[in-house]
Structure 1
Amino acid sequence: MKDYLYKLATDQKNDWLAKSIKLDLRCASFVYGWLADCAKAVTKPTHLSRKVISVGNITWGGTGKTPLLEFLITVLKDRGIKPVVLTRGYKASKDLNGQNDETKLLKQAHPDVPVLAGSDRVANAVEYLKSNSCDVFLLDDGFQHWKLSRDLDIVVINAINPFGNRALIPRGILREPVRSLKRAGIIVLSKVDQANPAELENLIQEIRSSNPDSLIVKAVHRPVSFWDIKNRKDVPLQDLKGKEAVSFSSIGDPGSFLKLVLRLGVHLNDNISFLDHHLYIQGDIDRIDQMCKATNSPYLITTTKDAVKLPGVMSHFDKGLSVLALKVKLEILEKEEEFLKKILSVMNV
């Protein structure tokens, strides 16, 4: 059901039944928007005794928020600033020790940085400060989190598909109208290398019409290496050039992941995409194995976000398969110095 609703919201379904349901979803979107406005109006935000920087978006996933969080953590740590991440931990699983894929990925990348997961992020922050210290809280997915006051709002926008069909959830992928960008202090346009240049310029102009004062920066996800999940070692990108492979993922924007892999010269024979945050079971692995056998593909490529969910099912993969995760890092192409200056000014550095 969730998969079907997502395909309706992203207009992947357009038969007569889908068109009929979309009319009802349009009404539901109006109700969703009204309830969101009411929640914002009646909620009094809590002010913490530490700085708060929010990293969020205005759409239903796929913007590249987690790589930006990793980038921010590195920037702060390199300057002796101690961050703590506050996250809702959407779709946490007992198979991941009560974490979700993004939380586990952050902890693996920065094991020395506390990641506090839970629906009540205010309570988690207050409880943490009773016996611990930090310099700043990074509020993951916080743009619509009205309960917590913040010193800076950073919004990430997927430059390939910034606003979907411009309808609110559930008819579209927008969490808020585009005009809500007026609250953002920094707007990061991700995956700009995959966007049409003319459409990218139009997007910037549209953002400027809502928020003429925000800092707009362009960023890409730069491939670093492949991670051999079975043997726990890095594999150089060039080692996969010209090799036959199958890919799979459960992320918000699988299309951009596929383009990254293809740009590396990998011969992708097949691909399968699951819904964002999907938890893999043996049936999924069997299906992926069959795709590899049918296409004579000895390599299987996925994302690092998916890789953290695989240890419990790795034994189900064919032993002859090399299961690799593509490691990427966020790279700011323009105005990085201004970006860093704005971040550090919040910290009075």
Structure 2
Amino acid sequence: MISFGKILSFPILFLLSLVYRILFFFDRSLKKKRTLSSSITISIGNFSVGGTGKTPFTLHLAKLLHSNFPKIPIVILSRGYGSSGKGTRRVTNNSLPSDVGDEPLLLKKNLPFVEVYVGSNRFDSYQQYRSENKIPNDQKVFVLLDDGFQHHALQRDLDLVLLDCTNLSKMEFLLPLGLLRESYNSVSRANFLVASKYSEELESSLSNWIRKYKPSRTLRFRFSPQILVPLSPGSSERSVRDLTGKSVFGFAGLGNPGSFFSSLQNQNPSELKTKSYPDHYSYTKDDITRISENTSNQDYIVCTEKDGVKISSLIETDKNFSKWFYLKLETVLENESELISSVRSFI
């Protein structure tokens, strides 16, 4: 939706949006694409800025590939948005989110069988990955290009683009007038549309979207709350059902936190207070202190897993933090055999 301020500045923003569209077209048309040797390259992206569920989907896809093709190594190449590190960095469980980015660190912590590399030049990142891990020249590798739909520098074998099903009723425009990086018509470039945050009540609006833009193939991707994972050492996991009838404070640094807050509300807490931070927000000790002071009467303090990665090092082994948790999601990809069949054709 367009804010009142954007309505007032509509002519200027519309002009800038047109310039953005032209520059984007030339970048995609003129940039010479490089090929990653001995790879099966899969791009995972979206149409818009903000949260579409790309990280949960990347986690699901990596596990799906590993279970079906356990002998083929997997590497995730990320730009490391929001990180301060320079050059190509190999992500480990001990990496700092400020150095490699919150999402790459979350991916590595959840995927011990996957290598994650961060850097602005993904071709160089891939070369460094093969060199450091001593991958033979003839060994095929799954390469997952994180946020790769608008990355025009590399050839890919499969393009997967995510669509946020919860936002289909909103009118969107290209940057900077709206949040779209490119128009929905670009779905014609994708091998699969992934309808993210899907639920049955959204089927009608999704079907209308599909009839209008005609994606090649569509996979419905849903996720639901699973467990509450403690951020304080020594605490135990809880069922998400424990939030029922309790007072809850939820906070998130996401592009679109509405789905997360709805997940908490669906557990029927007696009270739910929420706070949104900017996407990829870097929390400080002062932030943690303020949250603690303002939630002294709350039974639970719950954040997203992406936020949990960043604030876990700020949480002290103190009883005051025993009610701090992040929400772990369970994911389901419908008709995933179609995707596996497409992947198999490249092996």
2:9 alignment partner AA: I
Aligned match of 2:13 in 6, 25, 38?
Answer: 25
Structure-1 residue corresponding to 2:50: 61
Matches within 5 A, 1:326-341: 326-332=327-333, 334-341=334-341
Structure 2 unmatched ranges of 5 or more: 86-95
Matches within 5 A, 1:223-242: 223-231=225-233, 233-242=236-245
Structure-2 residue corresponding to 1:7: none
Structure 1 position 222, deviation (Å) = 2.0
Q: Structure 1 CA distance, aligned partners of 2:178 and 2:318?
A: 36
Identity of aligned residues (%): 31
Matches within 5 A, 1:76-225: 76-78=65-67, 79-80=69-70, 81-93=72-84, 95-96=96-97, 98-131=99-132, 132-133=134-135, 135-162=141-168, 164-193=170-199, 196-208=202-214, 211=215, 214-225=216-227
Q: Structure 1 CA distance, aligned partners of 2:124 and 2:213?
A: 34
Instruction: Assess, with a 3 A threshold, how the Cα gap between structure 1 residues 127 and 282 changes in structure 2: closer, same or farther.
Output: closer
Q: Aligned-pair RMSD on alpha carbons?
A: 2.2
Matched, 1:259 2:262: yes
Structure 1 position 338, deviation (Å) = 1.7
CA contact (8 A) 2:169 2:205 kept: no
Q: Structure 2 CA distance, aligned partners of 1:320 and 1:48?
A: 46
Q: Structure 1 CA distance, aligned partners of 2:55 and 2:83?
A: 16
Structure 1 position 92, deviation (Å) = 1.1
Q: Structure 1 CA distance, aligned partners of 2:169 and 2:340?
A: 26
Structure 1 stretches of 4+ with a deviation exceeding 3 A read 194-197, 315-318
Q: How many residues align?
A: 328
Structure 1 position 162, deviation (Å) = 4.1
Structure 1 position 320, deviation (Å) = 5.6
Structure 1 position 117, deviation (Å) = 0.3
CA contact (8 A) 1:300 1:321 kept: no
